[in-house]
């Protein structure tokens, strides 16, 4: 830990700006083209680096990954290795949160100078420095098509999301790290009520209750507390992630449970999945660099490097639990395979209120405020993982979507009969307490009836004897809070028999 502190004190400001205008308090960041050119130059100078193209953005900009390894085989073949943890880090899925990508640029430069060599004895790295180059150049949260790729991991409507899903499949990382920044200025909390949020580093890991139980227990009970402790010891106050605080009267919870975000999507695949949000300082503040960009990069860099050191130390148990989760998912300690379809937050009965520090805008003083604590995860409607799912509507479109997720399926060439559970929607309820900016889910009441069905040629079967089975089931089953049909482009929820349903006998 002393070494880490010494190293971070020695690292000078990264040349992120073509020029600086502190008076306007806006960092003049290098363009995505300049970033790409710099990464290629560093890779040409180091035997430990290789730049690979993942594809291009909606605006035609390249999306690339920098491979970092002491092993030429990984650089050339990109295949997971039995004795090394593959860690994939994503910077700036939101283009207006640039400190994550800048910290990754710094790491690439340091690895090119043979710093952190001890990490490469146990780790192979895949650094997606600019996950949203359009957003970078447009100073926007979105890509050039105005897609929020960060919450697109079910529908895969944006090409950028598809590229990152393909990268997860191709590199098969054991650890996924998603770097974000959290703005401390809020429209109601700050402008109307006079308070700023007070966060330096907050972390969450995959928290959907359907994550493999061994993986969930390891990340929740061991890895996450250790990471928070290490980052705090390194001088950056860290905590568990709290859902966004936008006004004093609200309740608070943890990060969202849905699988439309990278964190839970990757964890449902059996990966250790980490979210960090470091402080995004107020535009109106007075700093030594534009909008405090140098300090923001330092915090992101410290968070990343501490995580890598912890993962390196935990390599053996981490590899065991993540690869076991990917090879055979289980929901219970005795090998059960059940999915809970309804998930949400409720009152934490053991700690119904929490005190959270906020900063007064007028004088910068910190004070504790009491909030109702709704961070208890409520899971219900458990169903056994079936043998398969049948799809009897828009089969060609569904086949394309399944292939994009790398989910195995077969297309029937002739009529076949199966024992099944026909699902019928008996009631559709609009979401309660609709909140601005938050995607609310339609509540579907679904009746299940055992039945013998005959599928036609052209219908699809999605077997559940595959690594992505829990993820596929949660996206396909209309009872699921995370079903594909909650997406605007898939408005299938309607009263009556549903065209996707469980098959009970192996196909």
Question: Which residues carry out catalysis?
Answer: 277
Beta bridge pairs of residue 56: 62
CA distances 255 to 55, 148, 208, 243, 374, Å, are: 29, 17, 10, 5, 11
Following CA atoms 353, 355, 356, 359 in sequence, which dihedral angle do they give, to the nearest 10 degrees?
130
Q: What is the DSSP string of 4-53?
A: HHHHHHHPPPP--EEE--TTTT--EEPPHHHHHHHHHHHHHT-TTEEEEE
Structure tokens at 355: 């005190």
* Separation CA 87–CA 65 (nearest Å): 12
Pairing mode of beta strands 175-183, 85-91: parallel
Structure tokens at 51: 């730049």
CA distances 444 to 8, 151, 350, 423, 439, Å, are: 51, 22, 31, 11, 16
**Beta carbons within 8 Å of 241's beta carbon, 6+ residues apart:** 202, 203, 204, 254, 255, 275, 277
Q: What is the DSSP string of 156-172?
A: --SHHHHHHHHHHHHH-
* Separation CA 468–CA 471 (nearest Å): 5
DSSP E strands, 347-415? 353-360, 366-373, 376-384, 388-391, 410-411
Structure tokens at 2: 């002393």
């Amino acid at each position: 830990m002393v070494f880490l502190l010494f190293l971070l004190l020695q690292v000078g400001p990264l040349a992120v700006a073509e020029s600086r205008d502190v008076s306007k308090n806006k960092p003049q960041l290098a363009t995505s083209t300049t970033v790409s050119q710099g990464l290629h130059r560093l890779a040409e100078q180091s035997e430990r680096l290789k730049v690979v193209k993942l594809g291009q953005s909606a605006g035609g900009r390249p999306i690339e990954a920098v491979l970092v390894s002491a092993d030429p085989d990984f650089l050339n073949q990109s295949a997971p290795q039995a004795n090394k943890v593959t860690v994939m880090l994503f910077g700036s899925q939101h283009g207006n949160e640039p400190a994550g990508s800048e910290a990754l640029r710094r790491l690439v430069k340091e690895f090119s100078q043979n710093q952190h060599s001890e990490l490469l004895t146990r780790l192979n790295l895949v650094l997606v420095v600019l996950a949203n180059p359009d957003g970078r150049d447009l100073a926007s949260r979105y890509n050039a098509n105005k897609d929020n790729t960060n919450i697109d991991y079910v529908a895969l409507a944006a090409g950028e999301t598809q590229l990152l899903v393909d990268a997860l499949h191709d590199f098969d990382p054991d650890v996924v790290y998603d770097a974000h920044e959290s703005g401390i200025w809020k429209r109601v909390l700050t402008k109307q009520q006079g308070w700023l949020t007070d966060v330096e580093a907050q972390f969450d890991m995959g928290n959907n209750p359907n994550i493999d139980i061994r993986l969930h227990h390891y990340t929740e009970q061991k890895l996450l507390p250790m990471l928070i402790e290490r980052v705090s010891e390194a001088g950056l106050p860290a905590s568990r992630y709290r859902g966004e605080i936008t006004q004093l009267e609200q309740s608070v919870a943890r990060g969202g449970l849905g699988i439309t975000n990278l964190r839970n999507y990757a964890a449902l695949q059996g990966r250790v999945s980490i979210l960090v949000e470091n402080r995004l300082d107020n535009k109106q503040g007075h700093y030594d660099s534009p909008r405090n960009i140098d300090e923001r990069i330092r915090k992101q860099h410290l968070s990343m490097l501490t995580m890598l050191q912890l993962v390196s130390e935990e390599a053996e148990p981490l590899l065991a639990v993540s690869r076991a989760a990917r090879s055979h998912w289980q929901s219970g300690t005795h090998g059960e395979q059940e999915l809970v379809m309804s998930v949400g937050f409720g009152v934490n009965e053991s700690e119904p209120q929490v005190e959270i520090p906020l900063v007064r805008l007028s004088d910068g003083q910190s004070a504790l405020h009491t909030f109702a604590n709704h961070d208890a995860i409520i899971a219900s409607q458990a169903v056994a993982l079936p043998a398969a799912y049948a799809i009897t509507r828009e089969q060609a479109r569904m086949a394309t979507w399944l292939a994009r997720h790398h989910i195995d399926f077969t297309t029937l060439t002739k009529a076949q009969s199966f024992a099944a559970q026909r699902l019928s929607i008996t009631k559709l309820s609009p979401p309660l307490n609709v909140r601005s900016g938050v995607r609310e889910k339609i509540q579907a009441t679904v009746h299940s009836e055992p039945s013998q069905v005959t599928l036609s040629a052209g219908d699809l079967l999605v077997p559940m004897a595959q690594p992505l089975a829990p993820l596929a089931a949660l996206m396909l089953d209309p009872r699921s809070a995370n079903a594909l049909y909650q997406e605007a482009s898939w408005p299938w929820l309607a009263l009556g028999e549903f065209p996707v349903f469980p098959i009970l006998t192996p196909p």
